[in-house]
C-alpha cells in the first residue's frame, strides 16, 4: 500500500501509508513521512515474522499473476553456463540480503543526492524568503494579538500555514537538506557497500559497489532466464542497456517498477559507469 496509485508508467509523488489489518477484522491506516520508512518496516516484518502477510489478498493475487507472466517468458531449460551464472548471481543476492539496510541506504542516498544536485538554487532561495516572510507574519500576528487587534489571528494562521508549507516541501535548506550533506551520505553509503561486497567469497562480486542492490541482481537473473545472456558479464551489459532505455513512456509491471525506482537513481548518478571517481 506504500506505492500509491501505481499506473505502470512514469514517476509520481505518492503519499506513503500503511494499512494494518488486525486479528479482529478492524483496519487502521498509518501515515508516514517518508516512503522508505514503510518499505523498511515491511522488509523487517518479512525477515523476522515471515508468517505475517505483508500484502492484501488482492495484492497477493496480483503479484501471483505477475509472477506467472514472468515465468512464461523464461526458457524451459538453460545451458550449464547459464545455470552456473544464475547460481552465482543468486549467491551474491543472498549475500546482500544478509544486511539489507546497506543496499537500502545506498539507494536512498542516491535518490537524495540526485534531488540535491538537480535542484535549482532559485527554489531554495525562494523557499527561504517565503519562510522568513511567514515567520515575520507570525511574529507580527502574535504581537498584534497581545494588543487585542482583530486582524491579528489571520497573520498568525497564514504565518503558521506558510512556514509548515515550506518546511514540508523539502526545498528549504536545512542541516540535512543540502548538497554537502547529501554528498556525505552518498559517500558513506558507497563506502559501506564497498566494504560489504569486499568480503564476498573470492571477492569477485558480479556488480560494482555503487550498484550493489538485490534489484540489480534480480534484473540480471531475469535477463539470463529469458535467454538474452549466458553469463553474469553478458547479463550485466544487457541489463544496463535495458535500464538506460526505460523512460516515462515505457509500461512495466509492478515488480519491475519497484526495481527501477530503487536502482535507476544509482545508475543515473554514476552515469552507468563501472568505475567512478571519488
What is the model's pLDDT at position 110?
94
Contact status, residue 210 vs residue 270, Cβ threshold 8 Å: yes
Cell numbers linked to 250: 515505457
What is the model's pLDDT at position 203?
67
pLDDT digits (tens, 9 = 90+) for 146-190: 888 878 888 888 888 888 877 766 676 676 778 888 999 999 999
pTM, whole model, 2 decimals? Answer: 0.73
What is the model's pLDDT at position 14?
58
**Which helix (H) or strand (E) element contains residue 190?**
helix 179-198
Cα–Cα distance between 133 and 163 in angstroms, integer? 9
Cα–Cα distance between 178 and 180 in angstroms, integer? 6
* pLDDT for residue 5 is more than 70: no
Contact status, residue 222 vs residue 72, Cβ threshold 8 Å: no
Q: Report, as an integer, the average pLDDT of 186-195.
A: 95
Question: Higher confidence at residue 236 or residue 3?
Answer: 236
pLDDT digits (tens, 9 = 90+) for 79-110: 999 999 999 999 999 999 999 899 999 999 99
Residue 278's pLDDT band, with cuts at 50, 70 and 90, is: low
Question: Higher confidence at residue 200 or residue 174?
Answer: 200
- Average predicted confidence (pLDDT) for the chain: 85
Amino acid at each position: 500500500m506504500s506505492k500509491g496509485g501505481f499506473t505502470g508508467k512514469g514517476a509520481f509523488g505518492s503519499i506513503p501509508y500503511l494499512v494494518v489489518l488486525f486479528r479482529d477484522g478492524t483496519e487502521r491506516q498509518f501515515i508516514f513521512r517518508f516512503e522508505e520508512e514503510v518499505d523498511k518496516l515491511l522488509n523487517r516484518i518479512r525477515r523476522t515474522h515471515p508468517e505475517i502477510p505483508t500484502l492484501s489478498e488482492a495484492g497477493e493475487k496480483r503479484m501471483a499473476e505477475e509472477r506467472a507472466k514472468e515465468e512464461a517468458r523464461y526458457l524451459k531449460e538453460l545451458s550449464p553456463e547459464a545455470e552456473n551464472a544464475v547460481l552465482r548471481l543468486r549467491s551474491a543476492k543472498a549475500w546482500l540480503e544478509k544486511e539489507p539496510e546497506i543496499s537500502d541506504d545506498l539507494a536512498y542516498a542516491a535518490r537524495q543526492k540526485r534531488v540535491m544536485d538537480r535542484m535549482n538554487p532559485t527554489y531554495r532561495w525562494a523557499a527561504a524568503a517565503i519562510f522568513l516572510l511567514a515567520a515575520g507574519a507570525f511574529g507580527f500576528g502574535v504581537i498584534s494579538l497581545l494588543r487585542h487587534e482583530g486582524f491579528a489571528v489571520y497573520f498568525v494562521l497564514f504565518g503558521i500555514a506558510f512556514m509548515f508549507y515550506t518546511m514540508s516541501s523539502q526545498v528549504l535548506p536545512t542541516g540535512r537538506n543540502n548538497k554537502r550533506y547529501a554528498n556525505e551520505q552518498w559517500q558513506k553509503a558507497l563506502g559501506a557497500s564497498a566494504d560489504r561486497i569486499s568480503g564476498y567469497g573470492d571477492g569477485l562480486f558480479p556488480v560494482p559497489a555503487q550498484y550493489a542492490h538485490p534489484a540489480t541482481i534480480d534484473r540480471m537473473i531475469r535477463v539470463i532466464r529469458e535467454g538474452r545472456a549466458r553469463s553474469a558479464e553478458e547479463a550485466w551489459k544487457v541489463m544496463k542497456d535495458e535500464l538506460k532505455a526505460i523512460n516515462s513512456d515505457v509500461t512495466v509491471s509492478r515488480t519491475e517498477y519497484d526495481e527501477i525506482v530503487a536502482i535507476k537513481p544509482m545508475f543515473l548518478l554514476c552515469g552507468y559507469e563501472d568505475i567512478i571517481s571519488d
